[in-house]
Amino acid sequence: MDEKKSPPLYMQEIDDDVPILPNDSDISPEGQPENTRFVDLGSIQTDPKINYAEWVSTGKGLSSFARVTPDGRIVVSLDLKQKLPDLPKDHARDVKEFAVDETEWKKYPPMNIVIMIVGSRGDVQPYVALGKLLLRDGHRVRIATHETFRSFVTEAGLEFFNIGGNPQDLMSYMVKNPGLMPGMESLTNGDIGRKRKMLTEMINGCWLSCHSPCPNTGRTFAADAIISNPPAFAHVHCAEALGIPLLLSFTMPWSPTADFPHPLVNIKQSNAEFGLTNYLSYAVADLLTWQGIGDIINNFRTRTLGLSPLTLRSGPGLVDRVKVPWTYCMSPALVPKPDDWKNHIDVVGFYFLDLATSYTPPDDLAAFLAAGEPPVYIGFGSVVVDDAAAMTKTIFDATSQAGVRALVSAGWGGLGGVSIPSHVFILGNVPHDWLFDNERVSAVVHHGGAGTTAVGLAKGRPTVVVPFFGDQGFWGSMIHKAGAGPEPIPHKKLDVDNLRDAIKFAISPPAKNAATRMADQIRSEDGVRQGVDSFYRHLPLLNMRCDLDPSRLAIWWSTEHCLKLSAFAAQVLADANIIDMDSLDTHRTKEYDTHKKVTDPVTGGAGAIFWTITHYYAGIAEIFYSPVQGIINTTTAIPRGVVKIVVSVHEGFHNAPKLYGSEVRKPGKVTDFKSGVKEAGKGLFYGYYDGITGLVREPVEGAKKEGFIGAIKGSARSFVNVTMRPAAGIVGVLVHPFQGAWKSMQSPIGRRQEQQERITRISDGIEAVRNSTESQKSEIIKKFNYAKPSTKERQRKYKDLAEKVMLEDAENDRKDSDRSRDGVSSASSSKSPPTSPPKGPPLSPPPRRLPPPYQKAGSQKTRRSEAEDDEDAEFERELELAKQLSLAEQQGYERGLASQFRE
């Protein structure tokens, strides 16, 4: 195909097991796996004249079509070419979240939390409530949002960071383009160019919020955890780059479910069953969104973060595939949690910010409220109305015909200069929780924003929703379903007659009774407290606490001593000349396998099911009739200093577990592809390795006794790409060459950030020591001396534990591989053979509190050239044995660790 006519990388349907490298990588032909795809950075970030308003896909199993319509909805059509049953009720599997503390999750160390929010006042307000409670729990909380909300955030006592973007412009765009996806009008009037520029600004602003000093005080900041709403878009990429936990949170459903379609989607036509249609609607919405922003994301990943780019297979549905946890701040009384939202997804209740306690109404408002029957409130919040005068006249006429008084909020839409009748009072900025309380208003008419909806229902107010975009129609439908309001009226269909009739419905006794019942349920929930607790429950706390002082956050990892250390503990030990700060790596508490090979479609989420059905791979029906049982494991974070090499390619390696925290090195060592190859290659040449225990043994002696196997025992999940050998462990400096290639593309600004983080962490430690007592410092040294001699004992304990369950779980792994081989193996056509039970001595497990091992996956034999000499053949045989030993231990070891963590 003519390269000029090829779509950009982000719109290419490339399997995740195909390595992607920049074109200007200095890589020798013999070091190139045959499936490697080389791309220009231009193909990552250029606009190929894609029709952003439409998505079309055709395969032998499914044809799908999606289009953003003029009325601001996504219309979806699904046409199954071969009949399939509906998704089974038990299709979703529980998720084994990495290093969560199921029993003592309330024992959290203080941390720096950045909350990224893109949207309107109604989007920001719930997270101000959440941030205030997190602040009371002892954390430093930074709200990263638009400049418009600076005073709102700071007056709540929270730190503010401006990410750019104008929410008023954003709302104006979203009225015409729901979910940030452009309609036809925006394709022709220049809106898209302006919107994409704004998105780029906000994405970069979110990244800056993770590590930039406070603009007001100059106090340094380094994020330890991220909470974000989905439209921030930068969230998971920032978390991946920093190696920190991410919690996604939203006011509307965003996770795939069979219970109801995506809130932005209207199903125009589908011959699939009800549940499957709903589930696939989320995949199509993700694809349409990715089509509009994928190149911006890839430019951000490669240029700013130094991460590899994503494709049409790996980009859409990413957070679903890697099982990022969710906390939905909506009431289960209004939206009960679907059965296929498993344990990593919580529905906790609305987040209310109490603004009414100190509010005193102006005299004219108080007089109007006292002058007659409770009025109807009408307001459309942050929404920008195209024809404010016409909208205002409709409101005035409809309320007059309904015989009600009205409080009308101008908002950003304005009034359009229309004269005000006597039955109407024009509101300024009045807290909804005060206005809707104590029967001050009889009913509310609004745009269906989640925040306004929540307050209205909590106060027992019947509600009329006039949706403009996004989730607003969804909330209107849910309110109507509960009987607390009429069917929603799309804003383009709003007229005097239907608004008048809707108001009459809302003030009727049945609607009032339904709203009262719902208010009773909502009042029994403590959404903000439950939301904060949800955040703690999903944190990898077992990998976040300092080993010497669990009340402090682990910032550093010492390979020499096999310890996670807080900034305070590390500085105390450095001041006592016990450790050298240069020997420590920054500790990555959470990892994300963004290029994870999908081993079965259900595990891979809605996107994997979508592609599997589209291409109708053999055995597809089995996922409906006999879904794979078990638990989905999330990516394991291994401390720096432990072997972590990604060496999987299409001919067998990409089904091997991914070893994460890819920049395992002393800062500044890997700057380009050459240095990546050079540093990674040292390890196998000299026989050094870092075991999963984090202890550097004497590899030369091991090699003398048992050859290559002796040299790698103890690095339980150490995988080597024989095509690029010797990409293996080295002494203290280790990185995968492919990752080095993408680090070469990182901008100087991105590289400086990594060094800045280290400087910030050291500065925090110095400050903590300055504010400590002599007894606190002595206690750290005492605990270090106590822990130092017990490393080998802990190692033996975990070794025995791993041996006990290794054979059992190796057999389970073999059965899983058999099922995968006999049915549908993945969203691609490649399949992996079963893993053999372990042979030879078991591998050493990690020390106390090291994270569990990697995801299991099938192992595949490497291809051997007949021309290789006997020495190379022996090398490969021993390598294969090492891989089998590693694979055999994975699942048993993880179970063992889980039980030890609870001791």
Which has the higher per-residue pLDDT, 140 or 606? 140
Three-state SS annotation for 270-296: ECCCHHHHHHHHHHHHHHHHHHHHHHH
How confident is the model over 840-849, as a mean pLDDT? 31
- In the predicted model, is pLDDT for residue 493 greater than 80? yes
Q: How confident is the model at residue 410 (pLDDT cuts 50, 70, 90)?
A: confident
Residue at token pair 């239907």: 498
- Rounded Cα distance, 264 and 255, in Å: 12
Determine the 3-state secondary structure of 896 from DSSP. Answer: helix
Find out whether 757 and 222 touch, Cβ atoms under 8 Å.
yes
Is there a common fold for 99-254+311-353+529-549 and 363-524? Answer: yes
Residue pair 478/457 in contact (Cβ under 8 Å)? The answer is: no
Which of 99-113, 157-171, 389-403, 662-676 is predicted with the least confidence, judged by mean pLDDT?
Answer: 662-676
Contact 93, 602 (CB under 8 A): yes
Tokens of 806: 């290794």
What does the pLDDT average to over 330-342? 93
Residue 813 has pLDDT above 90, yes or no: no
- In sequence order, what are the residues at sequence separation of 6 or more whose Cβ sits closer than 8 angstroms to the Cβ of residue 591? 98, 240, 243, 635, 636, 637, 638, 660, 661
Confidence of residue 119 (pLDDT cuts 50, 70, 90): confident
At 501 the pLDDT is 97
254 confidence band (pLDDT: 50, 70, 90): very high
Average pLDDT over residues 222-230: 96
- Is the pLDDT confidence value at 335 over 70? yes
Report pLDDT digits (tens) over 45-99.
555 566 667 888 888 888 998 887 655 568 889 999 888 888 888 888 899 998 8
- pLDDT at 386 exceeding the cut of 50: yes
Average pLDDT over residues 883-895: 42
Residue 832 has pLDDT above 50, yes or no: no
CA distance 174 to 159: 28
pLDDT surpasses 80 at 674: no
Q: What is the mean pLDDT of the segment spanning 501-520?
A: 95
Using a pLDDT cut of 70, give the percent of the chain over it. Answer: 64
Token pair, residue 563, equals 């310890």
pLDDT tens for 522-544 read 988 999 999 999 999 999 999 99
Using the CB atoms, write b or e for 287-296: b if 16+ within 10 Å: bbbbbbbbbb
CA angle, 151 as apex, 147 and 157 as ends, to 5°? 120
The reported pTM is 0.76
Among 139-148, 153-162, 798-807, 857-866, the range scoring the smallest mean pLDDT is 857-866
Distance, first Cα to last Cα, the chain: 59
> What is the average pLDDT score of the chain?
74
Instruction: Sketch the domain layout of the chain as residue ranges.
Output: 99-254+311-353+529-549, 363-524
pLDDT of residue 16: 65
Name the one residue in this structure whose structure tokens are 């602003």. 205
- Of 260-274, 568-582, 728-742, the range with the lowest mean pLDDT is 728-742
Which range (6-10, 135-139, 389-393, 701-705) has the least confidence? 701-705
Question: What's the confidence (pLDDT) of residue 44?
Answer: 55
Q: In this predicted model, what pLDDT tens digit does every residue of 175-200 receive, in sequence order?
A: 555 444 444 344 444 556 777 788 89
**CATH code linked to domain 363-524:** 3.40.50.2000
Residue with tokens 């160019």: 193
Here the tokens at position 384 are 């920008």
> What is the DSSP pairing of strand 74-80 with strand 62-68?
antiparallel
* Contact yes or no for 638/660 (Cβ under 8 A): yes
Tell how strand 62-68 and strand 54-58 pair up.
antiparallel
State the pLDDT at residue 238. Answer: 96
Class assignment of domain 99-254+311-353+529-549? alpha beta
Q: What is the mean pLDDT of residues 260-289?
A: 90
What lies within 8 Å, CB to CB, of 486 at 6+ separation is 464, 480, 501, 502, 505, 506, 511
**pLDDT higher than threshold 90 for residue 755:** no
| Overall average pLDDT of the 732-746 stretch | 44
Which residue did the predictor score with more confidence, 619 or 407? 407
Query: Regarding predicted confidence, which is higher, 473 or 52?
Result: 473
Contact 323, 634 (CB under 8 A): yes
Question: Which residues, listed in sequence order, are joined to residue 377 by a DSSP beta bridge?
Answer: 407, 444
The distance between the two most distant Cα atoms of the chain, rounded to a whole number of Å, is 99
Confidence of residue 149 (pLDDT cuts 50, 70, 90): very high
**pLDDT at position 325:** 97
Nearest of 198, 199, 120, 174 to residue 152 by alpha carbon: 120
**pLDDT at residue 32 greater than cutoff 70:** no
> Over 50: is that where the pLDDT of 220 sits?
yes
Is a pLDDT exceeding 90 seen at residue 389?
Answer: no
In this prediction, residue 166 has a pLDDT band, given cuts at 50, 70 and 90, of: confident
Q: Is the pLDDT of residue 583 over 50?
A: yes
Average pLDDT (255-275) is: 90
Look at residue 740 and tell me whether its pLDDT is greater than 90: no
Is the pLDDT score of 808 beyond 50? no
Residue 469 has pLDDT above 70, yes or no: yes
